[in-house]
Structure 1
Amino acid sequence: MDDRTLTGSPADRFPLTWLHALSVPVFAWLAVRLFLWGGWGAGFALLVLLTQVMVFIWYLLPRGSDRPERSKLTRARVGLLAVLTACIVGLAGCFAIWSSLPLRVINFLVLAVLLLVQFMLLYRLSRQDWDHPLFWLEAALAPLVRPLIGLGDLRHLKRLVRPDSAQAPNRGRPAIRQAIAVAAGVLIALPLLLLLGSLLASADAVFADKIGGLTAWLQRFSFTLLARQLLTALFLAPFIFSFLESGRRQRQVLPVSENPQAGFKATPGRLAFARTILTTVLVFVNGLYAFFAVIQYQYLSGALYDILPDHLTYAEYARSGFFELLAISLVNLLLIYLAARASRSQVKAGWVLRILELLLILFSLVQWVSAISRMRLYVDAYGLTRLRFLSTAFMGLILVWYILFVAQIFMRRLPLFKSMAIAAVFALLALNIINPDLQIARYNVAHREQITLDRGYLFDLSDDAVIGYLPLLDENDPNLNRDLRRHLEEKLERLHAMHWQEMSYQQWQLRRELASALKTGQG
């Protein structure tokens, strides 16, 4: 709904309050302080939580009397928003607990998507449901357009200080003017107090001793850094205001159509034509997969029972198999999804597509088992790495998606896209809880007799992995002990130099563990 379609001035329909005006620069400064000048640890987690507070505060702030009542959220949408909020808070907490860089990058991208979806659902910024392509197009354009389309609304802020003459009796608010005057006086008094305090401290030794702690803090305090942060926050504040205000006014990025489904309804003839194409493709693909399963049966069973073909080594067999089968699984997912959507739209002839879809799922499961078996051989021979761990974890998610595909064949009302998206988010949360770097370190250390332990790779893992290879300090290998001790001492020095915004809970714990372990080793 575009606010221009309503009667009355925008300032009357969407009155700005002082909470609107003050929350944005404060939030902008906290964003700069916690993240841009902070880090990816506890500071970023706090920023995400503050973002949640801002989004819901702006939604709950009052509207003008000329504005129709806010449309009530349905129970289903409230439940979805609750799940989204819980996932956002959970992923934010992962930044405060663990420090793996690959997971933080993935978490950041997923958080950005979840925040956009939450914002659009809460403010009802799309007429489409969140499994519709137009919804996602609107979401993709939001970070580019929304920081700009509300900049013109900044002019309404002047009415907070200087109301219109017609509304002056009701909106004069002398208390607010008094508060502004007090704030201006404080800003003027602060530098004056610093100057006078330094002069008094120079004139009286007792006074200087009493304020010694404050003086030491001021000497460490960087006014230049504060000025940079404030300037950056002032630069970002208008764009943050524009983004939030565009949602509060329910402005849509895409043009509003009276018939949202116009242009997306195909004729029965076109649907039948497309369905025939898809059926033909599935027949040929299933035939290829059946031929592959028959010819490669001995190799598939060999993978299951650790029996390799005579002319292949561990590396050649596993490395040449897993990632190719992973790529095939991604193609299969697309074909299965298309078949599921097509079979759902037709009742009489949909059984043909459902049978082909079920066959494709079965062949895909055979390939999935083969891929996992090959990766197990590879890991047993060469150890775990991030790529191998994360690829295997993604194959686990693919298995969950296959189960959902089978379920929707028998439960036609199952929201397939939504179920797959929710499963992916929960899988990411589970992956964070598992702590991949720690598991990689523990596995490689535990199997160091069967594999060649790559010290350099272990040392390059995140701080989450240190606890996993800390027992190596007890090894009798003097070279390993020397290299590990030097590495841990450098890591401890870096941890002591980190600011609290950069650190995670795991790093706080690690700092104590390392100090104790290195001290014990020296003793």
Structure 2
Amino acid sequence: MVTPQPGLPFLPWWKPPTTGASNKALAAGLIAGLGGAFLAVPNNGIGWFLAGLCGVGGVLLYAGRPTVERALWLAGALAFLAMGFLRAAEWIFPLSIMASMLCGSIAMAGGKTVRGLVFGAVGVALGGLRSIPWVAKGLSKRGPIGIRPFVSVGVALVLLLVFGSLLAGADKGFNDFLEGLVPDLDVGVYVRMGFFGVVAAAGALGACYLVAAPPDIKEDAEARPGTLRLKDYGLPVGVLVVLFTGFVGTQLAVLFGGEAYVMKTAGVTFAEYARSGFWQLLWVAILTLGVIAGVAHFAVKKTAREQLWLRVLLGSLAVLTLVIVASALSRMWFYQQAYGWTVLRLLVSSCEIWLAVVYLMVIAGGITLRANWLPKAIVGTGAAFLLAVMTMNPERVVADYNVSRFEATKKIDTWYLSQLSEDAVPALVRLPAAERSCALYRLKDRNVEEDWRDWNLARHNAKASLEGVAVTAATCESSYSGER
């Protein structure tokens, strides 16, 4: 029986620093905390980007000049935060916040293998929790002299609150004067500021903790040899290869036979045929990726024969899945030709394109059977694709396409377009008066900005586009026909 040593940390391969937090680390936490408390707001606006700049600046003040890889991940984190004031779509904002946190954590925690990247995704959060004794140790070394200024400030605030309240109650003029100086904030606003400030400070201190005590995950250690032999995985993978080959064969017949072949064999229109299978094909591509990863990791690869069979079976499966991804994309293309683009269709199509890139990387890694770079490449390309989609301004693209389609076919779903955000306004003002009123009535007098921290470029441009454009109340009936 092995008895754990006293004081052994929860993660034994992550040793705590031997010294307390330095002045630079404490300053980084203070800068990030103040930025989060006073700049982050409930709405998507420029305040979030400025708060992110404070956090990144504070961390770099402690960590010093970053490496190229760390600088790229941090730049990605700030780029996602910038979407908070470049785009007005409400669904983009939470995605950009989560993606920014992921990029920032990987920037400081690193990670190459699956294990390392899992830790990298939560490294800053764990570092924030583990930094509490580190920060306390750093503060305790400063002695009573370092605490006295904080005590003095606290006493001054208490005296100001007590005597200020009494004097304000004694004279209405003085009360009005104090109300003009103090902003009108309710308890909820203070709670929100405190929450954002604590989270930002903990994130910055967690990042500094990772610099002071980098974890020793041993990602470069040689992996254990697999135990899955060819007789174990050959039949299951072979069955999938045969099944996928049959499916790909029918897809080639559909692509060459066109709509007439589909209506003859399936009894439905080409658009209905495309809609019926897209989501199933998307799941096939995702689940097959898990099958390939599992077999590649656990398979025995000692002899040249075993390596050859692994390349043939998994390579065939990857190539066939790549054709299935192309089939799913073609289905979406035919479907949007019949019914137009929506944001969801654009997003899942982008996801399919990313999956195609992932399968190309899997095929490249399977040639040498050495793909230590693959997990980080998948995460990096995923973040890059998401950022590219946000930069593309999906709601504006969807609105532009549907307006152009209306000009050609006179079919448009104004109810759906009315649910879009200010991102789509510059395209929707091109519509005729009746359709324009139906699509823009919800955004005509909408205003969610309370102060400069809520400023958003897309909302600013939308307001400028709506000036001088007539948007009146109208009875809206969509001229679009057809089941979607």
Give the TM-score range, shorter chain. 0.7 to 0.9
Question: Which residue does 1:52 correspond to in 2?
Answer: 56
Question: Which residue does 1:313 correspond to in 2?
Answer: 269
Distance, in Å, in 2 between the alignment partners of 1:360 and 1:388 is 26
User: Rg bigger for which structure?
Assistant: 1
| Structure 1 residue corresponding to 2:246, chosen from 287, 291, 300 | 291
1:115 aligns with 2:104: yes
The alpha-carbon deviation at position 219 of structure 1 amounts to 6.7
- Relative to 1, partners in 2 of residues 1:318 and 1:406: Cα closer, same or farther, differing over 3 Å? same
Preserved contact between residue 438 and residue 465 of structure 1 (Cα < 8 Å): yes
Structure 2: which 5+ residue stretches go unaligned?
9-14, 473-484
1:265 aligns with 2:228: no
Amino acid at match of 1:442: D
Preserved contact between residue 28 and residue 62 of structure 2 (Cα < 8 Å): no
Alignment of 1:150-229 (within 5 A): 150-159=131-140, 161-162=142-143, 218=181, 221-222=184-185, 227-228=190-191
Amino acid at match of 1:247: L
Distance, in Å, in 2 between the alignment partners of 1:441 and 1:52 is 35
Alignment of 1:347-386 (within 5 A): 348-349=304-305, 350-386=307-343
The alpha-carbon deviation at position 285 of structure 1 amounts to 1.1
The alpha-carbon deviation at position 361 of structure 1 amounts to 3.1
Structure 1: which 5+ residue stretches go unaligned?
61-72, 122-128, 164-171, 204-211
Preserved contact between residue 383 and residue 443 of structure 1 (Cα < 8 Å): yes
Distance, in Å, in 2 between the alignment partners of 1:118 and 1:162 is 34
- Relative to 1, partners in 2 of residues 1:48 and 1:257: Cα closer, same or farther, differing over 3 Å? closer
Distance, in Å, in 1 between the alignment partners of 2:19 and 2:433 is 72
Distance, in Å, in 2 between the alignment partners of 1:385 and 1:456 is 12
Amino acid at match of 1:407: A
Q: For the aligned residues, what is the CA RMSD?
A: 4.4
1:92 aligns with 2:81: yes
The alpha-carbon deviation at position 324 of structure 1 amounts to 1.5
Deviations 1:6-55 (A, max 9, x none): xxxx99942444444454345324213333x4433212222222222233
- Relative to 1, partners in 2 of residues 1:50 and 1:451: Cα closer, same or farther, differing over 3 Å? farther
- Relative to 1, partners in 2 of residues 1:407 and 1:344: Cα closer, same or farther, differing over 3 Å? farther
Q: Which moved more, 1:403-412 or 1:392-401?
A: 403-412
Distance, in Å, in 2 between the alignment partners of 1:16 and 1:501 is 32
Question: Which residue does 1:82 correspond to in 2?
Answer: 71
Distance, in Å, in 2 between the alignment partners of 1:258 and 1:412 is 21
The alpha-carbon deviation at position 376 of structure 1 amounts to 1.6
Distance, in Å, in 2 between the alignment partners of 1:250 and 1:470 is 55
- Relative to 1, partners in 2 of residues 1:182 and 1:420: Cα closer, same or farther, differing over 3 Å? same
Question: Which residue does 1:505 correspond to in 2?
Answer: 457
Preserved contact between residue 49 and residue 92 of structure 1 (Cα < 8 Å): no
| Structure 1 residue corresponding to 2:235, chosen from 261, 280, 285 | 280
Alignment of 1:138-153 (within 5 A): 138-139=119-120, 142=123, 145-153=126-134
The alpha-carbon deviation at position 397 of structure 1 amounts to 0.9
1:490 aligns with 2:445: yes
**TM-score normalised by the chain length of structure 1:** 0.72
Amino acid at match of 1:41: G
Deviations 1:77-117 (A, max 9, x none): 93321321222222222222112233333333322222221
Alignment of 1:409-420 (within 5 A): 409-410=366-367, 415-420=373-378
Distance, in Å, in 1 between the alignment partners of 2:120 and 2:297 is 23
Preserved contact between residue 38 and residue 501 of structure 1 (Cα < 8 Å): no
Deviations 1:138-188 (A, max 9, x none): 34664664443333344435545427xxxxxxxx8xxx7997799679868
Distance, in Å, in 2 between the alignment partners of 1:114 and 1:290 is 38
The alpha-carbon deviation at position 320 of structure 1 amounts to 1.0
Q: Secondary structure at the match of 2:430?
A: helix
Question: Which residue does 1:32 correspond to in 2?
Answer: 37
Question: Which residue does 2:287 correspond to in 1?
Answer: 331
Distance, in Å, in 2 between the alignment partners of 1:294 and 1:137 is 38
Distance, in Å, in 1 between the alignment partners of 2:217 and 2:365 is 32
- Relative to 1, partners in 2 of residues 1:246 and 1:330: Cα closer, same or farther, differing over 3 Å? same
Amino acid at match of 1:368: V
Amino acid at match of 1:285: L
**TM-score normalised by the chain length of structure 2:** 0.77
Question: Which residue does 1:125 correspond to in 2?
Answer: none
Preserved contact between residue 70 and residue 108 of structure 2 (Cα < 8 Å): no
1:130 aligns with 2:112: yes
Distance, in Å, in 1 between the alignment partners of 2:214 and 2:439 is 57
Amino acid at match of 2:130: I
Amino acid at match of 2:53: L
Preserved contact between residue 150 and residue 241 of structure 1 (Cα < 8 Å): no
- Relative to 1, partners in 2 of residues 1:245 and 1:403: Cα closer, same or farther, differing over 3 Å? closer
Question: Which residue does 1:64 correspond to in 2?
Answer: none
Q: Secondary structure at the match of 2:453?
A: coil
| Structure 1 residue corresponding to 2:427, chosen from 468, 473, 480 | 468
Preserved contact between residue 48 and residue 89 of structure 1 (Cα < 8 Å): yes
Q: Which moved more, 1:453-462 or 1:402-411?
A: 402-411
Q: Secondary structure at the match of 2:320?
A: helix
Deviations 1:236-265 (A, max 9, x none): 58855763564355275xxx7999969x62
Deviations 1:209-239 (A, max 9, x none): xxx9x98953755486775466546765885
Distance, in Å, in 2 between the alignment partners of 1:291 and 1:58 is 58
- Relative to 1, partners in 2 of residues 1:314 and 1:45: Cα closer, same or farther, differing over 3 Å? same
Amino acid at match of 1:250: A
Question: Which residue does 2:206 correspond to in 1?
Answer: 243
Aligned residues: 458
Q: State the percentage of identical aligned residues.
A: 19
Preserved contact between residue 77 and residue 100 of structure 2 (Cα < 8 Å): yes
